[in-house]
Chain A
């Protein structure tokens, strides 16, 4: 027969203020198998726990009910206490008489007291049937995959590699660098973005512990925390990277021209190209969709162009000097085994085409990211400020913030960095061209960050005009080619308008295409806005719902470079802390299938949100199997199983029914 101890916590006034502790205790004493009932001001404190430990050690108690706050935060503490006194740690049950009782029924003392009795009665009924459970351990692969080679992914990879772990850095583009490498300068220090990032790119490429896999994507994922089996698809490059020296000959002689994505289509690249001048690795790829060789092969079966390979002999133009062109290159699939994964696939900026009211058809209306390229020395104008339409130098530029952000039709969130990069653009321009007229239209200026406000005031002092409350309603192209910007100025309390040569739209930061699919591969969920979701905004900001899968950078939500790096380093620490011990603890509260009872219906398989259940051969039949490492203990399968073949340890059917009976008792 069980000897149950019931420990009622006052939680200061949190519980005692609404629940009559004495009355509850008297009632608890009458419950079956209850041997001891005690109370304390704070059960979670050391002296509070000591009361429980002493009773167990004295042999008075062998099952424990703590009537207190939420098990979410406090169950582990009491489990440890129970275990340290020599009992199985799962011989503990909590009755949540705070969140579910005293807090909710603050003004009904009698009702709250009655409810507390019921909750305790139910916990006692359950703990009587508790079974001893054991934590299990599995082996851990001591390597990490980082997906995304932007600033966050790179820093995560370097940190992990410096800890001695093997790191696979997978990047979709031919070169690492992400969005940051496209920026001209960074706020608030006005560092040259490429100058501070390029050395880091080189460090990543040269680090002995980092295997850099660019122009590649995650194709499929099997396994679970500690033992992920990941297949990575290395896209065909049609150029042998072992031979390619990055000399760039093919990128000059290739006759096929297409819009250059790196500069957002504002100039052209060839079908054979190196992504940007300081690319790492500096290797060329051939873009199959635009290559004339493949185009004609697909149409006629004969190659029409092999200039990159053979050159144009009559004109004395030589082909690839390294002999690296490889038209028969194929996509390659490689299998990697890693213990943990960090997803750092960053963001993309929203395109201007969504905003009809801002004349997106006009080449002089550009997104801030495009403007960043216009300002950059490696951009389409080599850093010279030119109007895209006619190449003249603009005299007046209007900037519009919150384009697609803070807008229920597109994205309800604040993209966080736009205010600052608009001010940064203004500052770059004003320092270079003091006579330029700049009008910045903000809803309100958000410069919450170290040295950001000072940056704002300094920029104002340069003579930048800040129009607040002024989300522009319309940008129209006038017959003379200039742009008319119409807005409202809250400070003047008047509608305003303006004739500008260029308009820069601070378009929203969005999750990149494929974030949802990537998340699904790893059973990591996306939030409403499409960014990957952290488990807990405050306490677990880099963990996903999927164990061993971590987040860094803008894929989790908009953030600036320092924040991305901070998060990357946090994610790498979290991943390392998981991987380095080489062992992983699996939850004891998980579901298990009794295969003799399993009817092979398969209902449980698609229900499992963690992908932990599969059907596998057992005695000649397909039976359900639950991978203990993946099971998160949600219990969905156990409640759905029509054959009652699934036992949810810690919440067995008998326990749940006993609990319900106890609650329903009059």
Chain B
């Protein structure tokens, strides 16, 4: 809601079913958060200046502020370092909240475009991110063209794709699963 240029968050839009959804997606201890802020003090992304970072994300999730969270790309900035999980005194596992939010976001296709790129790569090549265009140089250095990772094992990758097809990805993937 816009008011005098300041963004006022309308708590009435808070949706308890969103809280329950997140709990179902792995953030089971969400409601126990007492907002002590310890996670925020260790989070590298909060230190890096992401505005909506960990402590706020958990609180907004608790308030069921679906739109606020889905419209903000902060959850996708999490580096999965798990420092927050290690130090959380209430054992909320804040990283699990991030994961649950990502799961919820991807269901409604509310994620940054590069997320899909990564997802497609993961499906196709077994890596979300991997070095491309180094085949010639590798050959010159006497290495195999492809590194000995998923990239080199087409057989196994096919099996992996079969497994993925049986997951929720089947429903929500914004690209064809061939």
- On A, residues with C-beta under 8 Å from B are 396, 435, 437, 439, 445, 456-457, 460-463, 465-468, 486, 489, 491-499
- Additional A-B contact list (17), CB under 8 Å, known A463-B19, A494-B8: A445-B34, A457-B32, A457-B34, A462-B31, A463-B31, A465-B14, A465-B63, A486-B8, A491-B56, A492-B9, A492-B56, A492-B59, A492-B60, A496-B8, A496-B9, A497-B9, A498-B12
B178 contacts A by Cβ under 8 Å: no
Closest partner residue, chain B, to A459 (CB atom): B31
Q: Which A residues touch B1, using CB under 8 A?
A: 497
B35 contacts A by Cβ under 8 Å: yes
Q: For the complex, give the distance between the alpha carbons of A465 and B59 in Å.
A: 9
CB of B81 to closest CB in A, whole Å: 22
The A-contacting residues of B in range 44-101, CB under 8 angstroms, are 55-56, 59-60, 62-63, 90
CB of A294 to closest CB in B, whole Å: 52
Q: Which B residues touch A437, using CB under 8 A?
A: 14, 16
5 nearest CB pairs, A to B: A491-B59, A498-B11, A499-B12, A495-B8, A496-B9
CB of B89 to closest CB in A, whole Å: 11
Q: Which of A460, A491, A498 contacts B55 (CB 8 A)?
A: A491
Could you show 11 A-B contacts with beta carbons less than 8 Å apart? A457-B34, A461-B31, A465-B11, A465-B14, A489-B59, A491-B35, A492-B9, A492-B59, A495-B8, A496-B9, A496-B10
Closest partner residue, chain A, to B7 (CB atom): A494
CB of B36 to closest CB in A, whole Å: 10
Q: Which B residues touch A497, using CB under 8 A?
A: 1, 8-12
- On B, residues with C-beta under 8 Å from A are 1, 3, 6-12, 14, 16, 19, 31-35, 55-56, 59-60, 62-63, 90
Contact (Cβ within 8 A) B59 A496: no
Q: Which A residues touch B31, using CB under 8 A?
A: 460-463
CB of A486 to closest CB in B, whole Å: 8
Q: Which A residues touch B32, using CB under 8 A?
A: 457, 460-461
Q: For the complex, give the distance between the alpha carbons of A492 and B1 in Å.
A: 15
Q: Which A residues touch B14, using CB under 8 A?
A: 437, 465
Contact (Cβ within 8 A) B16 A498: no
Q: For the complex, give the distance between the alpha carbons of A489 and B56 in Å.
A: 10
Q: For the complex, give the distance between the alpha carbons of A466 and B35 in Å.
A: 10
Q: For the complex, give the distance between the alpha carbons of A492 and B10 in Å.
A: 12
Q: For the complex, give the distance between the alpha carbons of A491 and B68 in Å.
A: 14
Contact (Cβ within 8 A) A460 B10: no
CB of A423 to closest CB in B, whole Å: 12
CB of B51 to closest CB in A, whole Å: 9
Contact (Cβ within 8 A) B6 A495: yes
CB of A71 to closest CB in B, whole Å: 47
Contact (Cβ within 8 A) A456 B56: no
Closest partner residue, chain A, to B33 (CB atom): A460
CB of A237 to closest CB in B, whole Å: 51
Closest partner residue, chain A, to B11 (CB atom): A498
Q: For the complex, give the distance between the alpha carbons of A491 and B59 in Å.
A: 7
Q: Which A residues touch B59, using CB under 8 A?
A: 489, 491-492
Q: Which B residues touch A463, using CB under 8 A?
A: 16, 19, 31
Q: For the complex, give the distance between the alpha carbons of A509 and B54 in Å.
A: 37
Q: For the complex, give the distance between the alpha carbons of A463 and B31 in Å.
A: 7
CB of B53 to closest CB in A, whole Å: 11
Q: Which A residues touch B6, using CB under 8 A?
A: 495
Q: Which B residues touch A462, using CB under 8 A?
A: 31
CB of B103 to closest CB in A, whole Å: 21
Q: Which A residues touch B55, using CB under 8 A?
A: 491
Q: Which A residues touch B7, using CB under 8 A?
A: 494-495
Q: Which of B3, B16, B59, B90 has the most CB of A within 10 A?
A: B59
Q: Which B residues touch A467, using CB under 8 A?
A: 11
Q: For the complex, give the distance between the alpha carbons of A493 and B35 in Å.
A: 12
Q: For the complex, give the distance between the alpha carbons of A466 and B14 in Å.
A: 12
CB of A167 to closest CB in B, whole Å: 45
Q: Which of A463, A468, A486 has the most CB of B within 10 A?
A: A463
Q: Which B residues touch A486, using CB under 8 A?
A: 8
Q: Which A residues touch B9, using CB under 8 A?
A: 489, 492, 494-497
Contact (Cβ within 8 A) A460 B19: no
Q: For the complex, give the distance between the alpha carbons of A486 and B3 in Å.
A: 12
Q: For the complex, give the distance between the alpha carbons of A201 and B101 in Å.
A: 55
Q: Which A residues touch B56, using CB under 8 A?
A: 491-493
CB of B7 to closest CB in A, whole Å: 7
Q: Which of B19, B56, B63 has the most CB of A within 10 A?
A: B63
Closest partner residue, chain A, to B31 (CB atom): A461
Q: For the complex, give the distance between the alpha carbons of A454 and B77 in Å.
A: 33
Q: Which of B10, B11, B63, B90 has the most CB of A within 10 A?
A: B11
Q: For the complex, give the distance between the alpha carbons of A217 and B12 in Å.
A: 50
CB of A306 to closest CB in B, whole Å: 56
CB of B38 to closest CB in A, whole Å: 13
Closest partner residue, chain A, to B35 (CB atom): A491
Q: A437-B16, A463-B19, A491-B56 are in contact. Are A468 and B35 (CB under 8 A)?
A: yes
Q: For the complex, give the distance between the alpha carbons of A493 and B46 in Å.
A: 14
Q: For the complex, give the distance between the alpha carbons of A294 and B3 in Å.
A: 58
Closest partner residue, chain B, to A494 (CB atom): B9
CB of A436 to closest CB in B, whole Å: 10
Q: For the complex, give the distance between the alpha carbons of A499 and B12 in Å.
A: 6
CB of B102 to closest CB in A, whole Å: 20
Q: For the complex, give the distance between the alpha carbons of A460 and B30 in Å.
A: 10
Q: For the complex, give the distance between the alpha carbons of A465 and B9 in Å.
A: 14
Q: Which B residues touch A460, using CB under 8 A?
A: 31-34
Contact (Cβ within 8 A) A498 B8: no
Q: Which A residues touch B60, using CB under 8 A?
A: 492
Closest partner residue, chain B, to A486 (CB atom): B8
Q: Which B residues touch A435, using CB under 8 A?
A: 16
Closest partner residue, chain A, to B15 (CB atom): A437
Q: For the complex, give the distance between the alpha carbons of A496 and B9 in Å.
A: 5
Q: A491-B56, A492-B59, A493-B56 are in contact. Are A439 and B35 (CB under 8 A)?
A: no
Q: For the complex, give the distance between the alpha carbons of A149 and B148 in Å.
A: 84
Q: For the complex, give the distance between the alpha carbons of A460 and B92 in Å.
A: 13
Closest partner residue, chain A, to B68 (CB atom): A492
Contact (Cβ within 8 A) A439 B16: no
Q: Which A residues touch B12, using CB under 8 A?
A: 396, 497-499
Q: For the complex, give the distance between the alpha carbons of A462 and B172 in Å.
A: 32
Closest partner residue, chain B, to A464 (CB atom): B31
Contact (Cβ within 8 A) A439 B19: no
Closest partner residue, chain A, to B19 (CB atom): A463
Q: For the complex, give the distance between the alpha carbons of A456 and B8 in Å.
A: 27
